[in-house]
Amino acid sequence: MQVNVKTLNMEMTDAIRQYIDEKTLAIAKIVDEYDGAAMVEVEVGKSTNHHNKGPFMRAEMMLTMLGNVFRAEEEREDLYEAIDVCKDDLKRQVVEHKDRAKDEQRAQRPDKE
C-alpha cells in the first residue's frame, strides 16, 4: 500500500512521519487481504496560524482502492489524537464496505412458489 503524506502550516518531523506510518499499517493489514493495490493520502497540519486554543490541529486521510474512495477528517487540539480518530474512522469504513460486499455475495435467491 502506498502512503503519501502532506503537511500544511507546519514542519514534518520524523516522529510525526513515524506515527503516521505506524497508524496506516493497521489500515494496510485490512486492505492488503482485500486488495493490495491501494493508496492512502494523509494530510496533517494546523488549520490556522493564529489560534492557540481549541481544535486547530487537523488530520485528513483518504484511501483509494478498487475504485472506492474512503475519507476521514478530524480537528483536535492534539495532532496525534486527530490522526488516531481518522485512522479509526477509515478502518471502520473499510470494514463496513467489506461486510457489505460479503453480504451481497451471500444473498439468496427468492423462494420458488
Summarised one tens digit per residue, pLDDT across range 27-86 is 888 887 666 678 899 999 987 766 666 678 899 999 998 888 999 999 988 899 999 999
Task: Give residue 5's pLDDT band: very low, low, confident or very high (50, 70, 90).
Answer: very high
Is the distance from CB of 3 to CB of 21 less than 8 angstroms?
yes
Three-point CA angle 71, 75, 76, nearest 5°: 135
Q: Would you say the pTM of this structure is higher than 0.85?
A: no
Domain made up of 2-105: CATH architecture: 2-Layer Sandwich (3.30)
pLDDT of residue 77: 87
